[in-house]
Structure 1
Amino acid sequence: NPFIALSLLMFIAGSAIPVAFFLFFVVTTAVMACIGVVVMEGVVIAVGGVALLCVLCDLGALSLGVSGVLNICYVVLSTLVNYWYASRDQIWKQEVNGSLPQKSPPASDLSDNNGKNE
């Protein structure tokens, strides 16, 4: 039927431009979405990398600080323990040798003794 064929031809010709615009819009949107996702992914990765760098730097500084404090505590405690054992050992050796120095009475006791002697 020529009337249906002509109507179909007119419909296809008339709808070609809107369909072409629609397909162009779909392709453009898909390309922009891919580019946008790539750009957004890059931004997210960059921000995440900077955040990770900050966290790692803070952890490094914290570990250095804790390590320094623990090293200082170790040196101080080991020095005190060595001093304590050395002084105990020295006192023990003096007791064994019998050369433990006699403690002199305090000055107030001497003045009391002088007063009693007179």
Structure 2
Amino acid sequence: MSKEMQELQKQWHSVMQTIHSNSNVVAFMNSRVGQYLDEHPFVALSLLVFLAVSAIPVAFFLIFVVVTAIVACMGVIVMEGVVISVGGIALLCVLCGLGLLSLAVSGVLSICYVALSALLNYLYTPNSLVKKQEANGSSLLLSSPPVLDPSNKNIKGE
């Protein structure tokens, strides 16, 4: 059993030698904090135990933060999709309503134009012209001015 302990002790010394020969460890041990911890082993041990014990809660907290951020991003994407879909459907409904409203307004305006045009034509037609045409027995639609056609060969004065 002593041979196994000596073997284990040799391996431990080689590991410690590797750690002490690392350039980062040498730089830390030459710093003020490293020298303080070297002079106060109880503080160094307490710090080491605190770091080892606090690693698990810190890891759980970081995992919680990452999972929460991922779920929040997915939720935002889903909510954005829902909001855009509802907004698109609302826009489609509003545009269809505006189209129907514009058709109705243009129909009413067209009817008003035709009615007012006919009313104004009837009211502001000179009475003498109407009486003369009624005496001749012709209507307003049949009395139109003659069309002048330059290609007409039947011109007086030839």
Paired residue for 2:48?
A: 9
Q: What are the ranges of 5 or more consecutive residues in structure 1 without an aligned counterpart?
A: 101-118
TM-score when scaled to structure 1?
0.68
- Is it true that 1:22 corresponds to 2:61 in the alignment? yes
Deviates more, 1:69-78 or 1:21-30: 69-78
Structure 1 Cα separation of the partners of residues 70 and 57 of structure 2 = 20
Paired residue for 2:130?
A: 90
Structure 1 Cα separation of the partners of residues 96 and 85 of structure 2 = 16
Q: Secondary structure at the match of 1:26?
A: helix
- Tell me the amino acid that sits aligned with residue 130 of structure 2: Q
Structure 2 Cα separation of the partners of residues 43 and 78 of structure 1 = 52
Paired residue for 2:20?
A: none
Paired residue for 2:90?
A: 51
CA separation of 1:18/1:56 partners in 2, compared to 1, >3 Å: closer, same or farther? same
CA separation of 1:3/1:59 partners in 2, compared to 1, >3 Å: closer, same or farther? same
Structure 2 Cα separation of the partners of residues 59 and 36 of structure 1 = 34
CA separation of 1:59/1:7 partners in 2, compared to 1, >3 Å: closer, same or farther? same
CA separation of 1:78/1:6 partners in 2, compared to 1, >3 Å: closer, same or farther? same
Match of 1:74 among 113, 122, 139: 113
Q: Secondary structure at the match of 1:44?
A: helix
Aligned-pair CA distance for 1:72: 1.3
TM-score when scaled to structure 2?
0.53
Q: How many residues align?
A: 96
Q: What are the ranges of 5 or more consecutive residues in structure 2 without an aligned counterpart?
A: 1-39, 137-158
Identity %: 70
CA separation of 1:6/1:90 partners in 2, compared to 1, >3 Å: closer, same or farther? same
